[in-house]
Every structure is written in C-alpha cells, then in structure tokens.
Amino acid sequence: MKKYFFGAVVLLAAALLFLRHRENWKRHELSFFAMDTPVTLTAYGPAAPRGLRDAEDAVRKIERELSVTMPTSAVARLNTGETLPAASAAGRAITAALELCAETDGAFDPTLYPALRAWGFTTGEYRVPSRDELTELLKQCGVRHLRREGGSLRLEAGAMIDLGGLGKGLASDVAAQALKDAGVESAVLNLGGNVRTLGARPGGGRWRIGVRAPEGDLLGVIETDEGAVVTSGNYERFFERDGVRYWHILDPQTGEPARSRVVSVTVCGPNGERCDALSTAYFVMGPQKAAAFWKERGSESFVMLTDNGDLLACEDLAGRFTVDKERKNAKVTVIRR
C-alpha cells in the first residue's frame, strides 16, 4: 500500500513539473503592422502576454518619433525646420545614425531623403528622376546640413533626415528591452526581416533564423544566440520602368539605387540598430568593399547574395549558416580575417 502511495506521489510530482515546464515555455504571439512593415513578436512563458503588449507599445512609440511620413513625428518636425533636443529618443537615434555614417565612410547616410522622396519610395508614387534633378537634390543631402546648437539639432532649409535604414533595427532593440523588463526570458521578434532574439530558445540551444531569398523562398538558416539577424534586399521595395528595376537603397554618391551587384545581405550582431544600418551600408559597398571593411574594422559579420547567385560569408558565420538545400549548388566564398 505504502509502495503505491509513494508511486502516486512521484507521478503527481512529475505531472506538476511537466505542467509547470509547459507554462514556462508556453508560446504567445502578437502580429501587427507598424513602421511600414508586418511585425510578428513571439515570446514564451507566463510574462509573455504583458511583455508583448509593452513591446508593441514600444515599437509604436519609436514609430511616432521617427516616421518621416507622420507629420507630427519628431523627425518630420525637424525636417520642416523645427529644432529637436539632441537628448530626445529621436535625437539620440540621429546621433547614432551620424556616427554610423562616419564609420561606414558615408555608405550609410541618413540625409538622403530629398533624393529618396524624388523616386517616390515613401509614397509609392514611383518615378525616375533625371540625372540633373538628382544632382540638384544631392546638394541638399549630406550631414553638413545638420547643425548642433547647444543641446539642439537643426537642419538647414531643404535638408531632410530619414532613419528608414536603421529604424526597424532600433525598434527591435527597444521591443526586446520591453519584453526583458516585463520578465520575459525567451522571445524572437521579426520586424519585416529585422529579426531580434532575446535569451535562449525554449528548451535551450541556439535560435534558428530563416533568411528569406528574393523569390520568397529560403536562402538558408542562421543559428544565433541572443542578438540580431537583419536582412536588406533589393527585392524588398522596388519598381520597374522599361525593363529596368529601381530599388530603395540608394548610393549616396549618385542618389540612384545602389548597383553594387548585391541582391541581399544579412548581418548578425548583438545590436539590432547597428545591424540594420550595416545591412544598408554593406549593400551600398558591394562585395569587395564590404569584405575589406569587415576585415579592417572587425565589424558585424554578414552573408551576402550577389547577382550571379553566389554567396559570400564571413568566416565566423560560415559555420552557423546553412544554405537551403534548393541552393546547394551555389558557390559560397568564405571571407577570412
């Protein structure tokens, strides 16, 4: 009798432990549209429902600060000549963008909005500006037009800032922090190709992040601990005129879509904001310059798909990146330090 009683207690304890484990790792998901892109936040455990609500609030708050198309945003007001406190959230994002511009020798440039707008990328009313028009517009671009006066930022007339190249990455960091503050230990966030993970995968081990290929299929899978996996591609936003494709990542030298032989580039690192900016910068640089930049500066690693279907991967990612089996014939070149 005693033996049966003991057995029942063990069974009950095991069942309770199992239920508790399931509760700790229960999956919660929240999807919405923000920052011009579909957002899916997935978090695990009992703190997830509240954490997800906080994370959505955090993303929407960042959007309200940074959006170039919301006339009331801090960036839009700066663009119409108002001053902006440098210590505000938008002011700090602009300062980070300026640092990334200097770091990437101008490949990432947050002042291209006059040119970007002429192409219609923010409104969807696409057109191909003439070379003369772009040359004129480029005069209004450049970080020299942004003035710091005491604790304030101000733009010269005609100049405009656009943080579209790092906003989603920054929002992913802020959302991850909101989840952490709510007590969530495990989450994966996807803001239109800007993936950010928090903690470890439920049950332990690295996250496996699928990287989208241009045709909508899978390029491969990247394994990562807590951090960001950010992809920029020329198939994200583009239009075609007379058989020519024009996309939304511009070469700051010309104001035209960057024709650098890159189709997509995926960047991995601890910080979403930096990975987002670097994905844009590496795209502009193209394979040779990006590889040289990475070797020289030891910056965040990347996997790049070029227009002939070849892949380029930094050595520390090579072991964590698996090419999709549909592309197993692709040539993969490993960049070594």
Residue 121 binding ligand ADP, by CB under 6 A: yes
Alpha-carbon span 78 to 67, nearest angstrom: 11
Sequence-distant (6+) residues with CB within 8 A of 213 are 219, 264, 305, 324, 327
The stretch among 213-221, 272-280, 305-313, 316-324 that binds ligand ADP (CB under 6 A) is 272-280
Residue showing the smallest CB distance to ligand ADP in the complex: 164
Residue 284 binding ligand ADP, by CB under 6 A: yes
CA pseudo-torsion sign 98, 99, 100, 102: positive
Residue 279 binding Mg ion, by CB under 5 A: yes
Measured from the CB atom, the residue of 44 and 121 that comes closer to ligand ADP is 121
For residue 205, the one-letter residue type is: G
Sheet containing strand 146-149, edge to edge, reads 84-85, 152-155, 146-149
Residue 236 binding ligand ADP, by CB under 6 A: yes
The stretch among 25-33, 128-136, 148-156, 277-285 that binds ligand ADP (CB under 6 A) is 277-285
Residue 164 binding ligand ADP, by CB under 6 A: yes
Residue 252 binding ligand ADP, by CB under 6 A: yes
What letter would DSSP give residue 68?
A: S
**Cα 216 from chain centroid?**
18
Residue 193 binding ligand ADP, by CB under 6 A: yes
The stretch among 110-118, 273-281, 319-327, 329-337 that binds Mg ion (CB under 5 A) is 273-281
Alpha-carbon span 164 to 94, nearest angstrom: 11
Residue 302 binding ligand ADP, by CB under 6 A: no
Tell me the two tokens of residue 264. Answer: 């997509």
Residue 256 contact partner, candidates Mg ion, ligand ADP, none, CB within 5 to 8 A by sort of partner: none
Residue 108 binding ligand ADP, by CB under 6 A: yes
What angle (nearest 5°) sits at the alpha carbon of residue 168, between those of residues 32 and 140? 130
Interface ranges with Mg ion (CB under 5 A) = 165, 232, 276, 279-280
